[in-house]
Structure 1
Amino acid sequence: MPILRRVISLILIAWIAGFILFAMSLPRAAGAQRSDAVVVLTGGAGRIERGLEVLHRGWSPRMLVSGVDPQVKKGEFAAQFNITPAEMECCITLGYRAFDTTSNARESADWIEQHGYRSVRLVTSDWHLRRAKAELAKVLPAKVTVIDDAVRTQPSLRILMVEYHKLLFRSVPGLDPS
């Protein structure tokens, strides 16, 4: 029995330490690094605005917004974010196929492959970036470089706990907690 207690105690300590490390070291926004394209995952405040900032600063010439609601039309999207028709036409692709992190990765990888991009900037919330990048890495060719670009948030303890567990479960083959 003492060995079982020790094992359980070690697992608990590792879980707590892992959570603290996860919560205290959330990814940050990338700097002025250039990339072939930027991929923005919908679902959180500031993500699309960050992707547009990347475009406007010239850090990436093209942008995919993955996970757009199928009811959102290009014109509505452009009006909401103050995007000109010319900019929508040349530089922004709306992806309608994704509905969770795993399908975001697949939709993004297909778009990246279709255009032959070798480097992409991944924009999502700071608490979500690690898992989103892990999902994308599973479906992207190894030759594609992914630049982390996290949108800073003030996540609740609940959001951090849920995301930490999703990330842990994703490390177990065959599980998909998206």
Structure 2
Amino acid sequence: MKAIRYLLAGLVMVWALGFLWFVVALPQPAGDMRTDAVIVPTGGAGRIAQGLDVLDQGLADRMLVTGVDPEVTPDEFAAEFEVGEARMDCCVTLGFAAVDTRGNAAETARWVERNAVRSLRLVTTDWHMRRAAGELDRALPADIRVIRDAVPSEPSLASLFLEYHKLIASSVAGLFDY
């Protein structure tokens, strides 16, 4: 019985230290490394704006916005984010297939293969980056270079708590599939 208590205490300690690391060491924005494309999963403030900024700076040639609501039209997207028609036509793809982070990764992998992308910049919120990057790493071929470009945020403790557990679940599930 004593061994079980020590085991449980050890697991709680590992969980608590992991959560502390998760909160204190949130991913940061990337530098000015160039990639073939920028990938932006929907769902967090500032993500799409940062992705468009990457395009404007010439750090990528094209952008996939994955997880777009099927009711959003390209014209509505362009108007909301002030994207010109020429920029939409040449460089911005709206992906409507994904409904969650795993779906974002699958949709991205299909788009990367169709567009012969060899390197990409993942733009997502700092608290979401680890899970999104993990799903993407499992979905993409190993030779695709992924730059993590986090959008800084001010998440609540509750949001961080939930995302930490999603990361754990995603990591464990990733051991058994793909």
TM-score (structure 1 length as normaliser): 0.96
**1:38, 1:122 → 2: CA distance?**
6
**1:174, 1:49 → 2: CA distance?**
30
1:49 aligns with 2:54: no
Spell out, residue by residue over 1:63-122, the C-alpha distance to the aligned partner (whole angstroms, 9 max, x if none): 000011111111111011111100000000000111100100000110011111110000
Q: Which letter does structure 2 place at the counterpart of 1:164?
A: Y
Residues 174 and 51 (structure 1), Cα distance of their counterparts in 2 relative to 1, 3 Å cut: closer
Q: How far does residue 175 in structure 1 lie from its aligned partner after superposition?
A: 8.8
Q: How far does residue 171 in structure 1 lie from its aligned partner after superposition?
A: 2.1
Q: How far does residue 2 in structure 1 lie from its aligned partner after superposition?
A: 1.6
Structure 2: runs of 5+ lacking an equivalent: none
What is the aligned-residue RMSD (CA, Å)? Answer: 1.3
Residue matched to 2:127: 127
- Contact conserved, 2:138 with 2:174, CA < 8 A, in 1? no
1:74 aligns with 2:74: yes
**1:174, 1:141 → 2: CA distance?**
15
**1:120, 1:89 → 2: CA distance?**
19
Q: Which letter does structure 2 place at the counterpart of 1:102?
A: R
1:20 aligns with 2:16: no
**2:8, 2:92 → 1: CA distance?**
50
1:101 aligns with 2:101: yes
Question: Residues 153-168 of structure 1 correspond to what in structure 2 (within 5 A)?
Answer: 153-168=153-168
Residue matched to 1:33: 33
Residues 157 and 175 (structure 1), Cα distance of their counterparts in 2 relative to 1, 3 Å cut: farther
Q: How far does residue 173 in structure 1 lie from its aligned partner after superposition?
A: 3.2
Residue matched to 1:11: 11
Q: How far does residue 52 in structure 1 lie from its aligned partner after superposition?
A: 0.4
Q: How far does residue 4 in structure 1 lie from its aligned partner after superposition?
A: 1.3
| Structure 1 residue matching 2:165: 3-state secondary structure | helix
**2:93, 2:174 → 1: CA distance?**
31
**1:123, 1:174 → 2: CA distance?**
21
Spell out, residue by residue over 1:34-75, the C-alpha distance to the aligned partner (whole angstroms, 9 max, x if none): 000000010010000000000000000100000111111111
Identity rate, percent: 52
| Structure 1 residue matching 2:172: 3-state secondary structure | coil
Tell me how many residue pairs correspond in the alignment: 176
| Structure 2 residue matching 1:13: 3-state secondary structure | helix
- Contact conserved, 1:169 with 1:175, CA < 8 A, in 2? no
Structure 1: runs of 5+ lacking an equivalent: none
TM-score (structure 2 length as normaliser): 0.96
| Structure 1 residue matching 2:120: 3-state secondary structure | strand
**2:148, 2:63 → 1: CA distance?**
15
**2:139, 2:13 → 1: CA distance?**
33
